[in-house]
Structures are given as structure tokens and as C-alpha cells.
Amino acid sequence: MKVSSIYDPIYLKHDTGQHVENAGRLEAIISHLEQTGLKPQLIPIKPRSASVAEISLVHDKQYISHIQDTAQKGGGWLDPDTVMSPDSYQAATYAAGGAIKAAEAVINGEIDSAFALVRPPGHHATHRRAMGFCLFNNVAIAAKHILVKYKLDRIAIIDFDVHHGNGTQWAFYDDPRVLYISTHEYPYYPGTGSIEETGIGDGEGTTVNIPLPAGCGDAQYLPVFEQIIVPAVKRFNPGLILVSAGYDTHWADGLALMQVSVTGFAQMVKIIKGLADELCSGRLVFTLEGGYNHTALSASVKVTFDVLLGNTNIEDPLDQSPRWSEAPDITHLIKSIKEINNLD
């Protein structure tokens, strides 16, 4: 299997100081890939800067100029959660460009699958607003670019970050060419992603939200993937699968209350890879979103690569969660989501 990692030190120059979304996240990932001997198994691809024209496929040009101007003026806080430094605009254009480069390499058959290890993350960024640590919506920009340049009929985006990807949802809410599926803790930031949000107009039925209660772990996520995500993606039959990969659902992550393990992530990725192999010749791209416990994040990214490479030895240095004795019963929730989305 030809699997690529997309990375550049420019991502470290998005200097957020002591913010939870900081350069140490990527430094921990790269260090772990090197220490475990996995890095030589990956085909490195250098990202490029996305052009203003490419970014404007998703974002308002005045908003893009605002982000650039803020960086040139030294950075600053865009909202209570989202901060910029002088190099943040450049890093953000390379994050979007990294996602584009990964998708193009997969579509062109240069590689089988890829993981864009980028920051700042993107799935909260809307047409005119930065939010939730995100400046430009990397996965949405990559999807729009592929739709335009390669005339692809259908793309599926699977988002397993702990937060709902509101920016990605609204970018495609009326677009029948893109299936957006999100698993997320609910109610929680940003407050969107109820089961009733299924798309509008021509896009009705191409948004599937799976809002999960706090405390869900492997035993809840895997039935969700098997009973909702698998049939939804198969019915849509995409030519490419993109993944907003947020690892903040790990039980050791302090930003939320989910209980997924590293092994659980490996099982979820295996299901997604199986869908890509069956439906779209294995064409699969992961783009990094959240994940703030560096040990859990780096181990989870590593097992994602392991699954993509076909490595069968999955190592979980943190094991299962010691925190919750009783996980929630989501049987009725799964039933309701299947009914709303006509998956029965």
C-alpha cells in the first residue's frame, strides 16, 4: 500500500502560545512516528499554499483578506477561542493546500491513501467566520477543489471529531454532491448537529448527524459506524472519501467527555478504509482536526497510519478508559437516526 503523510514545519509557525491547540500537537505526532519506526513506511508529500481562488471556493474573499491583514498586523484574538500570530495566515493557506495536495495525489493515483498532518484545523470555519481554533476549512476547500477540477460526481466526508463540524456542514448543506456525516458529543460546542439537520433543497438527505451523549466509547461508536455510517456511505456511493480526523474523543483528552480508546480509533479507521476499498478504489484522505492529549493524539494518528498501511500489530499505550463504569445506552438514538435518514 502506498500511503502518504503531508506535513511541513510551516504548520508549527501558527504560534498560539499556551493555547490547547498548539504546535506541540504536531511535534508529538512527528516524534512518535519517528520513534516507532513508522515514518519510513510513509511517502512524504510536501504541501503547497492554497491560492485565494481555491480558498474562496468556501470562504468570502473579504474574510480571507481579513485573516491576511490580521496576520500582517501581528495577529490577535479573532474570538474567545481562536488566536492568530504573524505567520498564521501562511500556515492556514498551507493547511488548506496540504489537504488539496493529499486529495489530488489520491485522485491521480500517485498514492492509495493519505493523511494531511496540518494545522490550524478547519472544520468549524464558516464562509465568513473563524471559530473553534479554525481559520480556513481545510477539508471543505479540498472537497470543493476536487469537485471543480476533477468533475467528481460524489464525495463523502466523515467527521469523527468530538465537536460538530458546523463549517463543513454549512458549506455543503444544499449540495447533493457531498455527503457529510458527523459523530459528535451533544449538546456541546458549537451547539449544532442535531439529528434533524439533514440538508436543505437539493442537498436534503445528504447530511447525517449523529449527536452522542457524553460517556460514549468504543462500545457505542462501533455500532454507530456499522449501523449508520456504513449503510449511509454505501447508499451514496462516493468516488472519494475525506475524513475530518479529530482524536479529542479519546478518553484521556481533557477537552470533552468521550471514552474512545486508541484501539477504538483503529477499528473506526478500518471500517472507513473498508468502505473506500469497496466503493472508490481505496481513495481515502484524512485531515487532522482536534486531539489535545499529546500521548493519545500521537498514538491514535500512528494506528490510523497502521490501518492504512495494512499493519496488523495495533498498539494501544493507554488501554481502555478507567473513568466511566457505565456507558450510555444509545440503542434508541441509533434507531431514531436510522429512521430520520431512511436507513432501515
**In the 8-state DSSP scheme, what is residue 133?**
T
Choice among 14, 59, 123, 124 that is catalytic: 124
Q: How far is CA 59 from CA 1, 125, 200, 243, in A?
A: 35, 9, 20, 20
Q: How far is CA 36 from CA 42, 56, 227, 299, in A?
A: 13, 39, 34, 10
Q: Which of 108, 60, 107 is nearest to 242 (CA)?
A: 107
What distance in Å separates the CA atoms of residue 282 and residue 301, rounded to the nearest whole number?
Answer: 19
What distance in Å separates the CA atoms of residue 260 and residue 253, rounded to the nearest whole number?
Answer: 10
Q: Which amino acid is at 287?
A: T
- Does the annotation count 124 as an active-site position? yes
- Helix count and strand count (H, E) for the chain: 11, 10
180 near 206, Cβ under 8 Å? yes
**In the 8-state DSSP scheme, what is residue 86?**
T
- Residues carrying an active site annotation: 124
